[in-house]
């Protein structure tokens, strides 16, 4: 009974096309970003390269660098700073993933063993630091003070978001509002910065950089809401099948915040036992999925994501209608409807 949803292959294929559109729009530049990333992790200490590449090659979606490149294109940017910035945001993201896996004691990410599983926490902590320092070298190379300020503040905000999340683990006094605040810091801020810098390097009027900022932050909110939902929305797919990481780690994310609030006494006792008291037994994750399903939470969370997606779309409306705008609008739908 953990398999709540079957893949609607046609719908998923349609959705996948929207992601492919974005990929095609930026593919030429994205190849340059990947080259720059490889160049930057090249090191006289082979260990650094091995650990960094393990994660970088594991095939993340590269959504942040792609948003950065597409936003710069939307702003008619013609220089090369977008390549460096795209690599920079991916480095910030990758550094935090390495540290996240230490913090969460995770064994798997993107279907492969985590760096901390293979090389121990020590390597993940230090190589994460290394990638963070490289992201700073990249942002400095841009030589534009407003970009530098936003990026460094973003790194700081992101880390504060991670800390806030850590502190809400196993804690059902966490409200939906505080959850939204946390994902704004830990996820949406880097999305918004990735988009906003595209306008800043293009020296576009403030109305455009603000618009991309608003687009990015709302897209990021939708992204994380769906990400947290997917952890409970098990699907019949070999690669996409979830094993309830968040549940096992006692993370208090939106699905269980709502489930706790909507639940009857029996359900609340279940959440208290499994999450707050950390007393889990076999079959608990399936039970959790059932409770979430029973309370119609998946559809309602999807609607929450649609809400943020709508705000994101409206923010882009001031831009003239053209290919880049269409792709960025479509990516909102992709993110809201994705199953992976």
Q: What is the CA radius of gyration of the chain?
A: 20
- C-beta of 111 vs 120, nearer to its own copies: 120
Smallest separation (angstroms) from its own copies to the CB of 134 = 6
Residue 155 vs residues 85, 116, 200, 258: alpha-carbon distances, Å: 13, 22, 18, 29
- C-beta of 116 vs 224, nearer to its own copies: 116
The three-class DSSP label of residue 282 is coil
Token output for 131: 């990638």
- C-beta of 21 vs 144, nearer to its own copies: 144
Residues binding its own copies (CB under 8 A): 43, 45, 47-48, 96, 99, 102-103, 121-123, 125-130, 132-134, 136-137, 140, 143, 145, 148-149, 152-153, 155-156, 159-160, 162-164, 166-167
Strand partners, 5: 235
Smallest separation (angstroms) from its own copies to the CB of 67 = 21
The three-class DSSP label of residue 109 is strand
Buried b (16+ CB within 10 A) or exposed e, 282-308: eebbeebbebbbebebbeebbebbeeb
Smallest separation (angstroms) from its own copies to the CB of 140 = 5
- C-beta of 25 vs 182, nearer to its own copies: 182
Q: At residue 267, what are phi and psi to the nearest 5 degrees?
A: -65, -45
Alpha-carbon distance 233 to 201, whole Å?
39
The three-class DSSP label of residue 28 is helix
Lookup result for tokens 């996948």: 16
Smallest separation (angstroms) from its own copies to the CB of 318 = 30
Smallest separation (angstroms) from its own copies to the CB of 165 = 9
Smallest separation (angstroms) from its own copies to the CB of 133 = 4
Smallest separation (angstroms) from its own copies to the CB of 149 = 6
Alpha-carbon distance 243 to 230, whole Å?
10
- C-beta of 127 vs 329, nearer to its own copies: 127
The three-class DSSP label of residue 112 is strand
DSSP assignment string, 90-110: HHHHHHHHHHHHHHHT-SEET
Name 84's Cβ contacts closer than 8 Å, sequence gap at least 6: 36, 138, 139, 141, 142
- C-beta of 166 vs 243, nearer to its own copies: 166
Smallest separation (angstroms) from its own copies to the CB of 127 = 7
- C-beta of 23 vs 43, nearer to its own copies: 43
- C-beta of 130 vs 208, nearer to its own copies: 130
């Amino acid at each position: 009974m953990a398999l709540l949803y079957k893949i609607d292959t046609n719908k998923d294929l349609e959705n996948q096309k929207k992601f492919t559109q974005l990929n095609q729009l930026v593919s030429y530049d994205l190849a340059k970003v990947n080259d720059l990333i490889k160049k930057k992790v090249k090191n006289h200490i082979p260990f650094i390269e091995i650990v960094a590449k393990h994660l970088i090659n594991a095939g993340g979606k590269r959504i942040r660098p792609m948003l950065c490149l597409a936003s710069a294109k939307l702003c008619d940017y013609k220089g090369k700073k977008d390549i460096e910035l795209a690599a920079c945001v991916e480095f910030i993201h990758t550094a935090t993933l390495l540290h996240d896996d230490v913090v969460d004691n995770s064994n798997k990410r993107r279907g492969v063993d985590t760096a901390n599983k293979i090389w121990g926490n020590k390597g993940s902590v230090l190589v994460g630091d290394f990638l963070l320092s490289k992201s700073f070298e990249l942002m400095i190379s841009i030589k534009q003070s407003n970009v530098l300020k936003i990026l460094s503040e973003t790194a700081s905000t992101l880390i504060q978001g991670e800390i806030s999340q850590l502190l809400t683990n196993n804690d059902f006094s966490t409200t939906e509002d505080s959850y939204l605040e946390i994902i704004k810091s830990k996820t949406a801020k880097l999305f918004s910065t990735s988009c906003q810098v595209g306008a800043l390097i293009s020296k576009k009027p403030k109305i455009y950089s603000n618009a991309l900022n608003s687009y990015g932050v709302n897209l990021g909110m939708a992204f994380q809401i769906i990400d947290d939902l997917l952890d409970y929305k098990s699907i019949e797919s070999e690669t996409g099948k979830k094993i309830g990481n968040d549940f096992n780690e006692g993370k208090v994310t939106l699905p269980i915040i709502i489930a706790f609030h909507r639940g009857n006494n029996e359900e609340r006792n279940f959440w208290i036992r499994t999450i707050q008291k950390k007393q889990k037994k076999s079959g608990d994750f399936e039970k959790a999925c059932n409770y979430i399903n029973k309370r119609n939470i998946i559809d309602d969370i999807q609607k929450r994501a649609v809400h943020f997606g709508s705000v994101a779309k409206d923010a882009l409306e001031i831009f003239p209608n053209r290919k880049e705008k269409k792709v960025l609008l479509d990516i909102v739908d992709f993110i809201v409807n994705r199953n992976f």
